[in-house]
Amino acid sequence: MQDDVYQIVGCAREVLNTLGPGLLEKPDENERIVEFGLRNIPVSQQYRFAILYKTVKLGDYFPDLISVEKVIVETKTVEKLLTWNGDRLSIT
């Protein structure tokens, strides 16, 4: 699974390096879909999961992307990255 995560992060970095920060989340998500396809990495978009508590359905969860059938990718966008201190990213 670690190799899968490296490939997924590589896709995100490629999109960021190519287009820069500050895009809206949906276009950014779609760009990642394109990059995943170019790299032949399997991905699903907006797949529905039922949220259950014991036997009661509480609602549905729609992650942005699911790659290799086991890694959830939530797309978040920011205007710019400020600092990285090794374990936390400060953003604006």
Q: Read off the pLDDT of each residue in 75-91 and give the average, rounded to a whole number.
A: 61
Residue 37 has pLDDT above 90, yes or no: yes
Residue 26 has pLDDT above 80, yes or no: yes
Higher pLDDT pick, 78 / 92 = 78
Q: What is the number of structural domains in the chain? A: 1
Residue 85 has pLDDT above 70, yes or no: no
Q: What is the pLDDT of residue 75?
A: 80
- Cα separation, 57 vs 59, in Å, equals 6
| Residue 22 zone, left/alpha/beta (φ > 0; ψ -120 to 50; rest) | left
Q: Say if pTM beats, i.e. exceeds, 0.85.
A: no
| Host domain of residue 29 | 2-91
